[in-house]
Every structure is written in structure tokens, then in C-alpha cells.
């Protein structure tokens, strides 16, 4: 399992509520986290999925995830 980090535009708990079903379906509950205190809003995902698959899941929820 690999840990991948992304810079996102997920800004608040409402945004997290929107993206949660997409990331839970892909990576699994408890396998991802967004650091809302970090200015870059870092999404950390522990998964065997590719960065493209994770980024696509975030984009489907209406947000952007750029690998860092």
C-alpha cells in the first residue's frame, strides 16, 4: 500500500462531506485524510490505486487534487 499526497481546494467540513463518498468508495473509509489546517489543504491517501484514479475521484466530487 502506498501513501500519496495531493494539494487540493477542499476548504471546509462541508467540502469534506461532499468528497467523502467518492474517496470512501475508492480508497476505503479511514484510508484518507484532508489537513484543513494546512494552507495547501493536503489530502493524504493510503491506497493501491494510482494517483490518476484518486485525482479523478476527487474531480468527480467537484474538487481538484494535484499530486505533490
pLDDT of 1 strictly over 80: no
Domain encompassing residue 52: 2-67
The CA distance from 68 to 47, in Å, is 16
Cα atoms found within 13 Å of the Cα of residue 68, Cβ hemisphere only: 12
C-alpha distances out from residue 62 to 2, 3, 16, 58, Å: 24, 22, 11, 7
Q: Mind listing the pLDDT tens digit for each residue in 22-65?
A: 999 999 999 999 999 999 999 999 988 899 999 999 999 999 99
Total domains in the fold of the chain: 1
Say what angle helices 51-60 and 13-26 make with each other, to 10 degrees. Answer: 130
The CA distance from 25 to 23, in Å, is 5
**In this structure, what CATH number is given to the domain that contains residue 15?**
3.30.70.100
Amino acid at each position: 500500500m502506498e501513501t500519496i499526497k495531493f494539494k487540493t481546494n477542499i476548504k471546509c467540513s462541508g467540502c469534506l462531506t461532499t468528497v467523502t463518498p467518492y474517496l470512501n468508495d475508492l480508497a476505503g473509509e479511514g484510508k484518507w485524510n484532508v489537513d484543513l489546517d494546512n494552507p495547501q489543504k493536503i489530502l493524504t491517501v493510503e491506497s493501491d490505486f494510482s494517483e490518476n484514479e484518486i485525482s479523478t475521484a476527487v474531480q468527480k466530487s467537484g474538487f481538484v487534487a494535484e499530486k505533490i
